[in-house]
Structure 1
Amino acid sequence: MEFLVVAAASLMQGVCNNLSPDYTPGFIHSLCNRGDIATDLGAHLSSGANIWVLGSSNFDIATTRWSALDAPNISIVVEVATEDDVKYANPNNLPFLAYSGGHGAIETLSGVENGIQIWLNQLDSVSISEDSQMATFGGGVKSKHVTDALWAAGKQTVTGGCECTSLLGPGLGGGHGFLQGWHGLISDQFVSLNMVLANGSQITVDQDSELWWAVKGAGHNFGIVTSVTSKIYDVPEDGLWSYKSYFFTHDKVEELYDAINRYLLKGGKQPVDLINYSFFFNYPDVDPTHPLIAFFILRQGVEAIEEKYAAPFDKLGPVLSMSDKGTYNDLPMWTSNAEDSPPCQKSGLANVCFPVDLQTYNPTTQRLAFDTFSNFTQKYPAFNNSLFLFEGYSLQGVQTIDDESTAFAHREANLLVAPLIIYQPTDKERDAQGVAFGEKLRQIVFQGSGQDEMFSYVNYAFGNEGPEAWYGYEPWRLERLRSLKAKYDPNGRFNFYAPFY
């Protein structure tokens, strides 16, 4: 650690000694005027910690995010090695941001200027309790590591569907996942968590803590979670899952989503062991003038998707259909969310979502949304890698939890819907064009839903939805969050991810 601190300090001093009198970015002046931050930090951190400053070898690796739009401005990265390191990683009242998977794409993150990134990369431990009923996970552990480590012990728990995201990034905002029909959200599995508050104090939060309600749905606003203990479950005897996928052309939109309503969603009665998942996407090799629709049925405990579920979709005449069986660990690969899949790559693209929760599909609205998506991506090829996602998880486990018992307020929603606008950012005009496109698609499906209030999953949020859409429209919810915020983060140090001030 001493060598790293000296090297970082030397690099920073070299930058400070060579400031241009005519023009130097303001954040560099700010760093130099605040003294040798790297040295100050290094005096407190453990031997396994690292400090990366602008220009050092791992700085770019550490700060690259999944979405390049509205990324935070980071000047120093502190790669912590122990839970204690986290409390020292915020000197001089600089803005700071905890980083695990780097998939948060909300525009409010751009409020971090000249900030310190607290990189939780090394806090990736998985430890199963002696009775095998719980496991403790480091604050930076990724979903794939959780799944693989538990699977080796014959266990599983709720994680997000994407292997490269962290466990706690989604979990602090509720956390949807493939197993939620049985067990509830990621946050519903929490037993306790260790958290560092804005003042540097370390606390344990559990069911006896007044913060317990808040961290399960709005946890990004209260502290940095360094570890969490969660419930885990036995893998079913055979661990078997199966899937059937379909690819439909543009003329099948209404029939497809009507069939999903009738045969799968069933008015909110989708079977606990069944998931439906679809998206619009462009694939010119099959249809150069219109997008296609990919549709998946995922089911636990069967060798193949049964006729009663598959037949209505077989009859629609897909251009391609595939099926297979495997285990829970295969789901990310089947749905293109594995570590080596495109959604897990950090390639300098803007990736921004515009989420809205729905109860059911309006086939007429789905047609309008599809045509709007098609016309825009055909007219503006810069956006033709965009997707329109429709996730239909089972809800039984989610709805066994009293909706007033957690800050996550949207337990009744059958469908998680989100245009994902993907493009190479070039200028503000293109950014504005992409935002307008995503918002238009969202408003189409929302207005066609007949719902009075728009609910937006906070982990997918673009940032303009507002706290009621993220945390609930009942006045008491925001009142309670703001009261806790005033007590535990009175200076608003954790105001960069979906704040509710």
Structure 2
Amino acid sequence: MVSFKSFIAFYGLTLLPALVTSSPIASGYFARKLFSRDNINASTVAAELGPQLSNGSLIFGSNNPQYANATSRWNRFVRSDVQVVVEPAAERDIAKIIKYCNENSFEFLVRNRGHGITSSLSAFSGIQINVEKLQDITLQPDGKTAVLQAGTSGGQVIQELWNQGYVTTTGSTQCVGVLGPALGGGHGRYNGLYGLVTDNIVHYNVVLANGTEIGVNETSHSDLLWALQGAGHNFAAVTSIVKKIYPKEIDTWHFHNYTWTQDKLETVFETLNTFHKSYNGTTPPKMGVNFGAIRMDKSLSADEALLKWGFYYAGPAVEAEELLKPFNAIGAVEENMIDLSYPDVAALTSGDCASGNLAVSSVLTLEYNVTAERALYDHYITNVAKYPDLAATAYLWYEGYATAGYQAISPESTAYPHREENHIMFFATVVPDGSDLHDAAKTWAKESSDIWNAGQPGRQPKLYVNYAMGYDFETLESIYGYEAWRLERLRSLKAAYDPENRFRFFVPIVSNSTS
């Protein structure tokens, strides 16, 4: 019979006992150990860190069956060197983990659902802190806010609040965590009514790089609050937030999806430009978002890409269809519509959760340049023929959020720099496993962003931080803002709150480490 000790060693898993809070950590516990980052192993970490952590916490390495799922990423080209996974069962554990890593010169990285796509994450090697166990959602007695722990996902929050008669801002895809997008701004279907995800966070509980736990809000560390609202990945590990919630006043959302042939391309984009300026110069606030794509669909056309566009309206069909009359008049080859509850309409994009080896590029724009869109279509068709192994998954994607909510907020008030932009566009394709087409896919991605940006003559390229890939042609100014004071302020705050640059693996403001 295999002993329990041998079983644990074989699987690399430790289920940790409860920490007796009355027992102080022994003097010298955090003294530097005589091993280096190069030989971190789960059994050593479990023996040294494990007794400090809450009951139910896990520590395991690559020989554990849970490792693959715990380290998986939506973009499989992001390949962090995770030597040990620690899954804390309580918020208070995160400070202890970070202090342990600091005392032993181990790098650490916080992960929720693994949807960060930037290549800078591949520079990480060390202990990954998975926060997926931290999923508590607590409505406050005032009915105006809720406390969300760091591991909550968009779908979980949407459904739980809906069941209790409320809604809030989240990202648009259910499987993505709430906090990952929020730290970079966070676009979603309620942009037009309530603003970005980050605009609705009134308090952050965080652990700083030195392991100190603090609360951040308008009266406590307000300078750090500014940085967390758009560049937060660079500054702290967030353990929970207090977030604004709103009474559920809309029973159903209306969804209308169109498929148009390529000969309608100019008409579609001209109509979109008019539509996005139709309500006091902005998109109608209740038309939460329209998602569009140019992609191949062999069931409808063998050699022409099609335009597929879905509109999501916070209200009944009769209201939505009045706004959609110009699109109904274009003449689709295929269309469908349905009215659903908000959790159900949010689930319509669940297909976006499928992972792959993704080559991506992205831009932000004020409007659609119709000439550039035709050039993009032609470029797309050329490459579909040139790279048939990429053709099935390659697409040009468009996100047209309602803007009134987040553009009503002063752009200087948060680190999120691009409130004037109206659209997010990106190119993506999945490179098959074992394929030699990575460079070709990356070139296709860059050329697509170049065409988009060329359609904005006189404007500097801008990029949403959560869609940054870490390519050489992406500048920090394009991501964090061209006003010189923005990066100066961020770097000054970085020096104050993270002088050793421990948080540097997600689109880093400062790339080097002083540790």
Determine if the TM-score, normalized by the shorter chain, exceeds 0.5: yes
Q: CA deviation at 1:317?
A: 2.1
Going from structure 1 to structure 2, the CA distance change for 1:146 and 1:4 (only over 3 Å counts) comes to farther
Tell me how far apart the structure 2 counterparts of residues 107 and 277 of structure 1 sit (CA, whole Å).
Answer: 25
Q: CA deviation at 1:418?
A: 1.1
C-alpha offsets along residues 334-384 of structure 1, whole Å, 9 cap, x if unaligned?
4xx22xx2x2123xx212431211111111111111121222123212222
Equivalent runs, 1:360-439 vs 2, <5 Å: 360-384=367-391, 385-426=393-434, 429-439=436-446
Equivalent runs, 1:418-497 vs 2, <5 Å: 418-426=426-434, 429-464=436-471, 465-497=474-506
Q: Name the amino acid aligned to 1:495.
A: R
Q: Is residue 62 from structure 1 mapped to residue 34 from structure 2 by the alignment?
A: no
Tell me how far apart the structure 2 counterparts of residues 134 and 298 of structure 1 sit (CA, whole Å).
Answer: 25
Q: CA deviation at 1:436?
A: 1.0
Q: Is residue 74 from structure 1 mapped to residue 89 from structure 2 by the alignment?
A: no
Confirm or deny: 8 A CA contact 2:173 2:347 kept in the other structure. Answer: no
Confirm or deny: 8 A CA contact 1:264 1:276 kept in the other structure. Answer: no
Structure 2: segments with no counterpart, 5+ residues: 14-34, 511-515
Confirm or deny: 8 A CA contact 2:357 2:432 kept in the other structure. Answer: yes
State the partner residue of 2:22.
Answer: none
Q: Name the amino acid aligned to 1:357.
A: L
SS of the aligned residue for 1:440 comes to helix
State the partner residue of 2:513.
Answer: none
Q: Name the amino acid aligned to 1:286.
A: L
Q: Name the amino acid aligned to 2:195.
A: G
State the partner residue of 1:23.
Answer: none
Q: Is residue 38 from structure 1 mapped to residue 46 from structure 2 by the alignment?
A: yes
Tell me how far apart the structure 1 counterparts of residues 109 and 336 of structure 2 sit (CA, whole Å).
Answer: 42
State the partner residue of 1:21.
Answer: none
Tell me how far apart the structure 1 counterparts of residues 416 and 345 of structure 2 sit (CA, whole Å).
Answer: 25
Q: CA deviation at 1:268?
A: 4.1
Q: Name the amino acid aligned to 1:218.
A: A
Q: Is residue 270 from structure 1 mapped to residue 276 from structure 2 by the alignment?
A: no
Confirm or deny: 8 A CA contact 1:247 1:321 kept in the other structure. Answer: yes
Q: Is residue 137 from structure 1 mapped to residue 148 from structure 2 by the alignment?
A: yes
Tell me how far apart the structure 1 counterparts of residues 140 and 51 of structure 2 sit (CA, whole Å).
Answer: 34
Tell me how far apart the structure 2 counterparts of residues 76 and 246 of structure 1 sit (CA, whole Å).
Answer: 47
SS of the aligned residue for 1:43 comes to helix
Q: Is residue 293 from structure 1 mapped to residue 304 from structure 2 by the alignment?
A: no
Q: How many residues align?
A: 476
Identity among equivalent positions (%) equals 33
State the partner residue of 1:20.
Answer: none
Q: 2:265 aligns with which of 253, 258, 280?
A: 253
Q: CA deviation at 1:64?
A: 1.0
State the partner residue of 2:233.
Answer: 220
Tell me how far apart the structure 2 counterparts of residues 382 and 480 of structure 1 sit (CA, whole Å).
Answer: 45
Q: Name the amino acid aligned to 1:409.
A: P
Q: CA deviation at 1:9?
A: 4.8
State the partner residue of 1:24.
Answer: none
C-alpha offsets along residues 288-345 of structure 1, whole Å, 9 cap, x if unaligned?
11221111222222234655433322332211011111222232234xx22xx2x212
Q: CA deviation at 1:54?
A: 1.2
Equivalent runs, 1:142-221 vs 2, <5 Å: 142-208=153-219, 209=221, 210-221=223-234
State the partner residue of 1:19.
Answer: none
SS of the aligned residue for 2:317 comes to coil
SS of the aligned residue for 2:380 comes to helix
SS of the aligned residue for 1:131 comes to coil
State the partner residue of 2:120.
Answer: 108
TM-score, normalised relative to structure 2? 0.88
SS of the aligned residue for 2:412 comes to coil
Q: CA deviation at 1:12?
A: 6.4
Confirm or deny: 8 A CA contact 1:353 1:462 kept in the other structure. Answer: yes
SS of the aligned residue for 1:432 comes to helix
Structure 1: segments with no counterpart, 5+ residues: 14-26
Confirm or deny: 8 A CA contact 2:359 2:438 kept in the other structure. Answer: no
Q: CA deviation at 1:284?
A: 1.0
Q: CA deviation at 1:52?
A: 1.5
Tell me how far apart the structure 2 counterparts of residues 34 and 247 of structure 1 sit (CA, whole Å).
Answer: 51
TM-score, normalised relative to structure 1? 0.90
Going from structure 1 to structure 2, the CA distance change for 1:77 and 1:306 (only over 3 Å counts) comes to closer
Going from structure 1 to structure 2, the CA distance change for 1:38 and 1:264 (only over 3 Å counts) comes to same
Confirm or deny: 8 A CA contact 1:8 1:53 kept in the other structure. Answer: no
